[in-house]
Structure 1
Amino acid sequence: MENVFDLTIIWAGIIGFGLMMYVLMDGFDLGQGILFPFAPNEQARDTMMNSVAPIWDGNETWLVLGGAGLLAAFPLVYAVFLPALYIGVFLLLAGLIFRGIAFEFRFKAKTSKYLWSWSFSVGSIVASFAQGAVVGAYIQGFETEGFAYSGGALDWLTPFTVLTGFGLVIGYALLGSTWLILKTEGEVQDFAYKITPKLLFGLIGVFTVVCIYTPFIDEYVFSRWFNDISFIWALPVLVLYCAYLVYRHVKKRNEGLPFVASMGIFLFSYLGLLASKWPYIVPPKFTIYDAASAYNSQLFLLLGFLFVIPIVLTYTSWTYWVFRGKVKEGGYH
C-alpha cells in the first residue's frame, strides 16, 4: 500500500516548531539570568525572577517535546550529534539544572541569597552559550564515516561556534530585557529600556558577521544564497526590519512591541537557518529522509504527538493569560 502522507516532512515541521517554541518561550527567562549581574539591585532581581516564576517550568516543555520527537523520528541525528556534541550538550543540561536549582533556592535563602543569584546567572549564561555553540556546530557540519561521527570530542569548539554562542547569549538577553519592558514598571523597566539598545546593536553585529561568514564555510549554503536567489534574501531583511522596530519602539517607550519585534528577530533568523540548510538535517551529508525512522514508527508516534501538542499549547496559553499584567516591584503576580 502506497504511503498517503509524507510523514518525514510532517515530523520535520513538528520538531522545527517545537524547537522554535522553546527558543522563544525559554529564551526570555534565560535572559533574566544573563541580565542579573547588570540589574540595579537585589530588589530588582527579585522582580525580574518574579516576572517569569509562574511560567519558566512550562517553557522548557518544548525542549523535551522537540528532543523526544527528534529521537523518535530522526534517530540518525542522535547517532551523530551526541558523540559530536557530548561536551556541549552536557554544558547545556548542566546549565539548565544549575539555574533550576538556583531558581528555587534563591526564594528561600537569606544570608546566601547572593550566591544563588550568581548561580542562577552562571547557569543561564552557560546554558545559553552551549545552545548557541551547538547551532554553530550544526552550521559547520560534522565529519562522518558511514552513519557514525568520525571527528574529535572538541571539533565542535571553533571561533565560529564561540561567536554563535555569545550571539545567542546576547539574543536571549535582548528577549529578557524586552520582556521586562512588557511586564515590569518603575526602576526595573527603566533599566530594561536603557540596556535594550545596547543589546540590540551587539546582536545585529554578531548576526552580520555570521551571515557573511556562513556561506564561505559551506558550499551548499553559498549555492542557496547566491546561485538560487529567491525568497531567502527576504529573511535577513525582515530580521533587520524587526531590529529597527525594537529600536524605534524602545525610544518611544512603547511596552509591548519591542518584545514582539525581538521575537521576530529570532523567528526570521531561525527560518533563514532552516532555508540555508534544507533538506539537510545532519550536514553536510544526510537529509531528513536519510535520517528518518521507519514509516510505521513515525505514524505510531505521530498519533501521540498530535494529541500532546494541542494540550501543551492550551495550558501554555492559559498560564500566560492567568499571569498577565504587570509584576510590581517587591511583590508577586
Structure 2
Amino acid sequence: MSLDLALIWAGLIAVAVLLYVVLDGFDLGLGILFPFARSPRDRDVMMNTVAPVWDGNETWLVLGGGGLLAAFPLAYSILMPALYLPVLMMLAGLILRGVAFEFRFRARDRGRRFWTQMFAFGSILAAFAQGLILGGFIQGVQVVDDRFAGGPFDWFTPYTLLVACGLVAGYALLGATWLMLKTTDDLHGDARKWTGISAVATAVLLAAVSLATLVAHPVIGERWGWPDGLMGGIDWAVFAPRALIPLIGVAGLAMVFLGSRKGSHGWPFVGALTVFLSGYLGLAISFAPYVVPYAVNFRQGAAPDNALGLMLWGTAFILPTILAYTAWVYWVFRGKMTPETGYH
C-alpha cells in the first residue's frame, strides 16, 4: 500500500505551525508584557525564563514555512504575494526582538533601556503581523488561473485587524501563564494579575472574531451549521458534532480563571494551551482540505510524489531529533526561575 504523501505533508506542516504558535507564542507574549514589569530585575527574570528555549521555539516556523514552499509550491506561490507585507512585518519583528534579546544583557543604562523597548516593540510587531497573516488567510485571497489576482493591501481590513488584536491578547495570555509557571514572589503575583486581564481580553476578542467570521464568510458559516448566517436557523446535524471544539476552548478558559484564582502554578498554562488548541481545531474544520481557502486543496497544491517522498526521508530523521532535543531542553531547564539564576 502506497503512502498518501500529500496528506502526510499536510499533517506535518499543520503540526509544525501549531507547535510554533504555542511554543513561540508564550515568549512573544512575554515580550508583549515586558512594558508592564515593575523593574529591570523583573524583566531580567522574565527573559531568563525563555533564554534556553526561545531559539528552538522558532525552529517550527522554519519547518512550517519551508515545508509549505517545498511540499506545496503552488499554495506558497499564491499566498506569499497576497501576504508579502505582513510577512515582512513579522520577520522584521522577529529579527528586532532577536537582536534586542542578545544586546539587552550586555548593554548598560541608556542602551539597556533602548533594547528593552525594542524587545517589547519587536514582540508586539511580530505578534500583530501574525494576526494580520491569519486574518488575511481566513478571509481568503483572489485566485485566477492558479495565481494571486488581488492587490497588495487586500489583507488590510477591519476583520484582519480584529484577528490581529485577538492573537496579541492570546499570546499575552500564554506569556502570563508561562510566567505563573516559571516565577516566584512579586513577579508571580504580577503574572497572576496579567493572566486575569489577558484571559478576559482573549475571551472577548475570540468571541468577536468567531461571530465576525460567521457573518463575513458564509462558506465558513455553512461548515459550522449556520447556512443563513447568525440570524438564520441552525443545522443541528452539522453543528452538534462540531460544538465540542468551542466547548474545549471554554474549558481551557475555565482552567485559566479557576487555576489562577486558586493560585495554581501550572493549570493556567495548560488552560491557555487548550484555548489555542481549540482555535486551531476550529480553523481545521473551517478550511480542510484547502491550503488556499476554497481555491486550492492540499492535493492540487502538492509537489510531485517523488519530491515529497525524498523530503520525507530527511524529515523522518530530522523531526524526531528536533522533538527529542526540544523535550530534553525543557526538561533540563524545568522549575522556577529566580533573579540568582540565568543570564546576568
TM-score between both structures, scaled by the size of structure 1: 0.97
The equivalent of 2:263 in structure 1 is 253
The equivalent of 2:228 in structure 1 is none
The equivalent of 2:132 in structure 1 is 133
The equivalent of 2:330 in structure 1 is 320
SS at match of 2:291: strand
The one-character-per-residue Cα deviations of 1:79-105 (angstroms, maximum 9, x if unpaired) are 111111110000000000000000000
The one-character-per-residue Cα deviations of 1:222-267 (angstroms, maximum 9, x if unpaired) are 1110153353221011101110110001000000111111001001
Which 4+ residue blocks in structure 1 deviate beyond 4 angstroms?
A: none
SS at match of 2:199: helix
Kept in 1, the 8 Å contact 2:32–2:124? The answer is: yes
The equivalent of 2:153 in structure 1 is 154
Kept in 1, the 8 Å contact 2:75–2:296? The answer is: no
Deviation at 1:268, TM superposition (A): 1.1
The answer on 1:289 being equivalent to 2:287 is no
Deviation at 1:300, TM superposition (A): 0.9
The answer on 1:168 being equivalent to 2:178 is no
Q: How many Å separate the matches in 2 of 1:301 and 1:215?
A: 38
The equivalent of 2:20 in structure 1 is 22
Kept in 2, the 8 Å contact 1:83–1:149? The answer is: yes
Q: How many Å separate the matches in 1 of 2:186 and 2:222?
A: 49
Kept in 2, the 8 Å contact 1:33–1:124? The answer is: yes
The answer on 1:278 being equivalent to 2:276 is no
Deviation at 1:320, TM superposition (A): 0.5
Structure 2 counterparts to residues 1-333 of structure 1, below 5 A: 4-111=2-109, 112-226=111-225, 227=235, 228-332=238-342
SS at match of 1:289: coil
Q: How many Å separate the matches in 2 of 1:268 and 1:190?
A: 27
Deviation at 1:186, TM superposition (A): 0.7
Kept in 2, the 8 Å contact 1:129–1:165? The answer is: yes
TM-score between both structures, scaled by the size of structure 2: 0.94
SS at match of 1:327: coil
Kept in 2, the 8 Å contact 1:182–1:256? The answer is: yes
Structure 2 residues without counterparts, runs of 5 or longer? 226-234
Deviation at 1:281, TM superposition (A): 1.1
SS at match of 1:254: coil
SS at match of 1:229: helix
Kept in 2, the 8 Å contact 1:102–1:119? The answer is: yes
Aligned residues: 331
The one-character-per-residue Cα deviations of 1:128-147 (angstroms, maximum 9, x if unpaired) are 00111111111100001111
Amino acid in structure 1 at the alignment position of 2:102: E
Deviation at 1:330, TM superposition (A): 4.8
Q: How many Å separate the matches in 1 of 2:207 and 2:289?
A: 24
Deviation at 1:216, TM superposition (A): 2.5
Kept in 2, the 8 Å contact 1:47–1:327? The answer is: yes
Q: How many Å separate the matches in 1 of 2:247 and 2:274?
A: 12
Amino acid in structure 1 at the alignment position of 2:181: L
Moved more, 229-238 or 174-183: 229-238
Kept in 2, the 8 Å contact 1:46–1:330? The answer is: no
Q: How many Å separate the matches in 2 of 1:146 and 1:216?
A: 28
Q: How many Å separate the matches in 1 of 2:291 and 2:72?
A: 9
Kept in 2, the 8 Å contact 1:185–1:329? The answer is: no
Q: How many Å separate the matches in 1 of 2:298 and 2:3?
A: 15
SS at match of 1:281: strand
